[in-house]
């Protein structure tokens, strides 16, 4: 045992005792007692004032303080309080006072013991030194543990910091109001984004971030219930428009008292994975060679088209197109050229379709087309024919021309099936039939549809030929003043003199003319023919009455209609006052805003405009008053029934009344009997037209009803 290693049996060895005492004699007594009790191994430090004592305590280690309450710079308990604040070692108050209650007061202020100055014996001091010794050991032990704990804390903080720095994830805490603090700010710099902007600084609800899985409402419920959450996916759109996908997990945090203090969690950037998934999804839905949708996506689009058609009460169609002799191209020119051809075919197919339709590649040389919306299921035939026609032009294969044909199978909803699977099967079967029959052709799944399609196509071919061969003529029906029964005008009605079918009525071919676009050529012909006829009659010296021609909806939508008509009138030297235009109420109301523009243009060209078949088109009355119209023609179904059905009679009366109020002329169509005439006259209808006054007849025949001039 060395002298530097104090033994507990020798109280006070190595201890440092501070004696705060201004009285030198008292200090000596205390000093001597300490020296005796510690057998010279203890050190005594002396202070005469509190200031001095505090300086020593700040710079030296002290294990025990003997303190006199009254020193020059401090008195009473204040002395004890000030020293107490500067050390943790035991403080012994040594006092000459003997006031009752002093002991309690001093003990309350943190003194360990109160000694009377007269009782400062070595024995007492030895006991106190032993106490200080014990206290010192505890202190040293505590300090050691604290140091270790502090070191441990420092190390774990450093570990946390370096891990959060290295991690590609964001660590965060949220307070009870769920506002964020980011614990890994270094990551922001590396990821090129401010976490506060990307994850939001306030809560989970902010503009830039939307949930990628689940809904905010669900997530909010989790947060409100203070439950942990795992892998909550979010999308954040950066300022440059790129998207960042995050996956966040968090758990609630509670303090020692069990109070909820917020969430702690981590968010991972999963953009790379998400992009890869999207890419895979793209691969799963698109064909690699042509970039067109593959069979999977086709099926999806067809399902969608069917659902939509069902809702709207319309048709939808699917075509299967198989290239004829594609194998030959592959065998003679190689697969690269074959692939090139497939791309070109895909492009050509797309060019035949509308934007909402889908062109897909479903096999080697097989393509499929979804026609999203069909007015009539048989109209799918028109699309099939359009595709076959588009294949008439050669394909350019690296400078070489190749002629390719296709065989097409057609299936239509709802006729051939009510779901994607059955429609695709039907189209497939139909395609094989097309191949067997002659190639470069199309075939419907059902015989009935085939027959209808065939006659429709035949009609189109015949109509085209009718234009070329001049098979159209005009018949004229007189329009009379109902009061005098005098002819005051005529309506020109189109007739088709078909080589085999004889006279074909307009309602059988006008829709086909509209569908094929031939209506423009034929419509122009009608106006020109009427003008020609008028000028012929004028040259023959007849007193001509105005002629009304009918315009179809498609013609009416033509932007340059007024110019076309104006030119035709000028060419034949006819005054615009001699030409009237009839537009059905339904085509007028299809796009009322555009109709206003078009009508004004026609009106400026000096033409009179009648609304045909009035009463059938659900006119918006507010529009009607704003349209520059001259005449309403009451539809013949109402006129015909006016004398037998009260409802029709009411409609006829109402239209007459309204026309008068709006200052329009009113013409009753389809007058067939004397009773009709009487009814109309009685209710003030000014003009009429119908079999009763004359059927539509050829130009030569109607001329006999005109008077000579002069
Ligand atoms: P619309 O313009 O309402 O023509 C009147 C139709 O009623 C004519 O039929 C006419 O023959 C018929 N009609 C006239 N009086 C009577 C009658 O007393 N009783 C009965 N039952 N019918 C009568 P049409 O010639 O068959 O024409 C039918 C429709 O075809 C026309 O109806 C018109 O919408 C359209 N149309 C005729 N020619 C042309 C044309 O050149 N271009 C266009 N876009 N459409 C035309
Ligand atoms: Mg008409
Ligand atoms: Mg009519």
Q: pLDDT tens for residues 86-101?
A: 998 899 999 888 888 8
Whether 122 has a pLDDT exceeding 80, the answer reads no
Q: Which residue has the tokens 């061969």?
A: 469
Ligand nearest to the CA of 505: 1
Q: Which of 471, 491, 504, 506 to mutate to test the pocket of ligand 1 (most atoms within 8 A of CB)?
A: 506
Predicted confidence (pLDDT) per residue in 635-648, tens digit: 999 999 999 999 99
> If we measure between CA atoms, which residue out of 15, 36, 35, 44 comes closest to residue 136?
15
Q: Choose between 140 and 617: higher pLDDT.
A: 140
Where does the pLDDT of residue 688 fall: very low under 50, low under 70, confident under 90, or very high at 90 and above? very high
CA 271–ligand 3 middle distance (angstroms): 65
Residue length, the chain? 710
Give residue-wise pLDDT tens across range 62-81: 999 999 999 999 999 999 99
Q: Give the other-Cβ count within 10 Å of 293's Cβ.
A: 21
Q: What is the mean pLDDT of residues 120-124?
A: 78
Which ligand is in closest contact with the Cα of 507? Answer: 1
Q: Among 141-155, 167-181, 596-610, which is the least confidently predicted range?
A: 167-181
DSSP-derived secondary structure for 338-376: HHHHHHHHHHHHHHHS-TTSEEEE-SSSEEEEEEEEESS
**pLDDT at residue 421 above 70?**
yes
Answer whether residue 461 shows pLDDT above 80: yes
User: What atom of ligand 1 comes closest to residue 555's alpha carbon?
Assistant: 44
Task: Find the mean pLDDT for residues 7-29.
Answer: 78
Assess whether pLDDT exceeds 60 at residue 7: no
Q: Would the pLDDT of 589 be above 60?
A: yes
**What band does 623 get if pLDDT is binned at 50, 70 and 90?**
confident
**229: three-class secondary structure by DSSP:** strand
Any atom of ligand 1 within 6 Å of the Cβ of 582 = yes
Which of 104-118, 312-326, 667-681 has the largest mean confidence?
667-681
Residue of minimum CA distance from atom 4 in ligand 1: 493
In whole angstroms, what is the distance from residue 613 CA to residue 608 CA?
Answer: 16
Q: Atom 7 (ligand 1): residue with closest C-alpha?
A: 670
pLDDT, residue 283, reads 81
pLDDT at site 8: 46
What pLDDT does residue 6 have? Answer: 42
**What is residue 634's predicted lDDT score, i.e. its pLDDT?**
95
**Which numbered ligand comes closest to the C-alpha of 581?**
2
Q: Which residue has the higher pLDDT, 34 or 82?
A: 82
Higher per-residue pLDDT: 416 or 213:
416
Residue 305 predicted with pLDDT over 90: yes
pLDDT of 187: 59
pLDDT digits (tens, 9 = 90+) for 272-290: 888 888 888 878 899 989 9
Counting residues of the chain whose pLDDT is more than 90, the rounded percentage is 53
Tell me the CA–centroid distance for residue 511 and ligand 1, in Å. 14
The residue ranking higher by pLDDT, 25 or 488, is 488
Angle between helices 561-572 and 592-604 (to 10 degrees): 20
For residue 138, pLDDT beyond 80 = yes
CB of 403 sitting under 6 A from ligand 1: no
Q: What does the pLDDT average to over 693-710? A: 90
Confidence bin at 165 (pLDDT 50/70/90): confident
Question: Bigger pLDDT: 160 or 656?
Answer: 656
Residue 679 has pLDDT above 90, yes or no: yes
CB atoms within 10 A of CB 202: 12
For position 206, what pLDDT does the model report?
A: 42
Across-strand partners of 356?
Answer: none
* Separation of alpha carbons 94 and 84, rounded Å: 15
Asked if the model's pLDDT at residue 410 lies above 90, the reply is yes
What per-residue confidence (pLDDT) applies to 194? Answer: 58
- 547 in ligand 1 pocket by Cβ < 6 Å? no
Mean pLDDT of the chain: 87
| Digit-coded pLDDT (tens) for 222-272 | 888 999 999 888 887 766 777 778 888 999 999 999 999 999 998 888 888
Under the banding of pLDDT at 50, 70 and 90, the label for residue 615 is confident
635 lines ligand 1 (CB under 6 A): no
Ligand nearest to the CA of 479: 1
Under the banding of pLDDT at 50, 70 and 90, the label for residue 200 is: low
The response to whether residue 478 sits with its C-beta less than 6 Å from ligand 1 reads no
Ligand 1 atom with the smallest distance to the CA of 669 is 15
Is residue 690 lining ligand 1, measured as CB closer than 6 Å?
yes
pLDDT for residue 2 is more than 70: no
Residue 532 has a pLDDT of 96
SS percent in the chain: helix, strand, coil, step 5: 45, 25, 30
Cis peptide before 375 (omega within 30 of 0): no
Taking phi first (over 0 means left), then psi (-120 to 50 degrees means alpha), and beta for anything else, what does residue 422 get? alpha
pLDDT the model gives residue 251: 95
Instruction: Find the ligand nearest to 506 CA.
Output: 1
The answer to whether 628 touches 603, Cβ cutoff 8 Å, is yes
Most confident of 186-195, 200-209, 532-541: 532-541
The alpha carbon of 527 and the centre of ligand 1 are apart by a number of angstroms equal to 16
Task: Give per-residue burial for 247-263: e unless 16+ CB within 10 Å, then b.
Answer: bbebebbeeeeeeeebb
pLDDT exceeds 70 at position 710 = no
Nearest residue (by CA) to ligand 1, atom 21, is 670
Question: How far apart are alpha carbons 438 and 431 in whole angstroms?
Answer: 11
* Helices 77-84 and 50-59, axial angle in degrees (round to 10): 10
User: Ligand 1 pocket check: which of 550, 565, 668 to mutate, most ligand atoms within 8 Å of Cβ?
Assistant: 550
Do 580 and 612 touch, CB atoms closer than 8 A? no
Which of 697, 706, 705 lies closest to 493, judged by CA? Answer: 697
Is pLDDT of 38 > 50? yes
Chain mean position to CA 535: 60
Whole-model pTM: value is 0.53
Helix (H) or strand (E) holding 492: strand 487-498
Please name the helix (run of DSSP H) or strand (run of DSSP E) that holds residue 384, with its range, or none: helix 380-390
**Interatomic CA distance for residues 347 and 337, integer angstroms:** 15
Which residues, in sequence order, are CB contacts of 680 under 8 Å at separation 6+? 482, 639, 642, 652, 656, 668, 671, 688
**Ligand 1 atom 45, closest CA:** 550
- 619 C-beta closer than 6 A to ligand 1: no
**Alpha carbons 321 and 407: distance in angstroms, whole number:** 6
List, as one string, the DSSP characters of 113-182: EEEEGGG--HHHHHHHHHHHHHHHHHHHHHHHHHHHHHHHHHHHHHHHHHHHHH-SEEEEEE-TT--EEE
pLDDT band at 1 (very low <50, low <70, confident <90, very high): very low
Whether 236 lines ligand 1, by a CB cut-off of 6 Å, is no
Q: Is the CB of 672 under 6 A from ligand 1?
A: yes
**Which region holds residue 12: left if phi is over 0, alpha if psi is between -120 and 50, else beta?**
left
């Amino acid at each position: 045992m060395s002298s530097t290693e104090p033994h507990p049996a020798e109280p006070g060895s190595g201890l440092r005792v501070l004696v705060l005492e201004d009285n030198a004699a008292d200090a000596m007594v205390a000093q001597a007692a300490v020296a005796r009790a510690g057998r010279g191994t203890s050190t005594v430090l002396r202070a005469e004032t509190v200031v001095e004592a505090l300086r020593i305590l700040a710079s030296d280690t002290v294990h025990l303080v003997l303190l006199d309450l009254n020193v020059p710079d401090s008195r009473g308990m204040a002395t004890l309080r000030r020293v107490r604040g500067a050390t943790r070692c035991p403080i012994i108050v040594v006092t000459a006072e003997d006031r009752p209650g002093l002991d309690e007061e001093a003990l309350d202020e943190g003194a360990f013991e109160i000694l009377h100055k007269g009782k400062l014996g070595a024995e007492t001091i030895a006991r106190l030194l032993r106490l200080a010794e014990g206290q010192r050991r505890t202190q040293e032990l505590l300090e050691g543990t604290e140091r270790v704990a502090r070191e441990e804390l420092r190390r774990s903080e450093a570990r946390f910091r370096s891990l959060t720095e290295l991690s590609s994830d964001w660590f965060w805490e949220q307070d009870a109001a769920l506002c964020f603090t980011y614990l890994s700010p270094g990551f922001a710099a590396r990821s090129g984004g401010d976490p506060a902007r990307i994850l939001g600084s306030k809560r989970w609800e902010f503009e830039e971030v939307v949930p990628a899985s689940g809904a905010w409402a669900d997530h909010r419920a989790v947060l409100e219930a203070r439950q942990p959450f795992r892998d909550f996916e979010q999308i954040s759109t950066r300022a440059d428009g790129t998207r960042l996908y995050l996956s966040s997990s968090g758990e609630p945090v509670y303090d020692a008292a069990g109070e909820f203090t917020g969430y702690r969690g981590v968010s991972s950037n999963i953009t790379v994975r998400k992009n890869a998934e999207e890419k895979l999804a793209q691969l799963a839905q698109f064909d690699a060679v042509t970039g067109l949708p593959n069979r999977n996506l086709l099926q999806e689009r067809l399902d969608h088209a069917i659902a939509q058609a069902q809702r709207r009460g319309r048709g939808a169609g699917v075509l299967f197109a198989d290239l004829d002799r594609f194998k030959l191209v592959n065998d003679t020119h190689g697969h690269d050229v074959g692939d090139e051809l497939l791309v070109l075919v895909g492009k050509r197919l797309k060019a035949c379709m509308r934007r909402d339709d889908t062109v897909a590649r479903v096999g080697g040389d097989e393509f499929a087309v979804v026609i999203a919306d069909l007015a009539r299921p048989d109209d799918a035939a028109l699309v099939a024919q359009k595709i076959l026609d588009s294949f008439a032009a050669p394909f350019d294969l690296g400078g070489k021309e190749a002629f390719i044909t296709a065989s097409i199978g057609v299936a239509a909803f709802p006729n051939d099936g009510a779901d994607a699977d059955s429609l695709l099967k039907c189209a497939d079967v139909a395609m094989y039939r097309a191949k067997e029959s002659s190639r470069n052709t199309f075939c419907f799944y059902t015989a009935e549809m085939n027959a209808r399609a065939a006659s429709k196509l035949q009609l189109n071919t015949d109509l085209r030929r009718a234009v070329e061969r001049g098979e159209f003529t005009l018949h004229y029906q007189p329009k009379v003043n109902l009061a005098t029964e005098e002819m005051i005008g005529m309506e020109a009605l189109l007739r088709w003199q078909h080589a085999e079918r004889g006279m074909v009525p307009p309602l059988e071919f006008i829709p086909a003319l509209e569908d094929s676009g031939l209506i423009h050529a034929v419509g122009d012909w009608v106006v020109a023919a009427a003008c020609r006829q008028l000028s012929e009659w004028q040259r023959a010296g007849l007193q001509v009455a105005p002629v009304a021609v009918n315009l179809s909806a498609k013609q009416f939508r033509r932007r340059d209609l007024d110019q076309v008509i104006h030119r035709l009138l000028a060419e034949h030297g006819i005054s615009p006052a001699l030409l009237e235009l009839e537009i059905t109420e339904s085509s007028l109301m299809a796009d009322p805003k555009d109709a206003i523009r078009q009508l004004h243009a026609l009106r400026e060209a000096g033409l009179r405009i009648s609304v045909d078949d009035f009463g059938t088109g659900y006119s918006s009355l507010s529009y009607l008053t704003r349209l520059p119209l001259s005449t309403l023609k009451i539809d013949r179904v109402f006129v015909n029934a006016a004398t037998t059905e009260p409802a029709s009679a009411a409609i006829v009366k109402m239209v007459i009344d309204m026309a008068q109020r709006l200052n329009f002329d009113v013409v009753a169509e389809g007058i067939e009997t004397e009773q009709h005439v009487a009814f109309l006259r009685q209710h003030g209808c000014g003009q009429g037209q119908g079999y009763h006054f004359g059927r539509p007849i050829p130009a030569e025949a109607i001329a006999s009803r005109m008077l000579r001039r002069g």
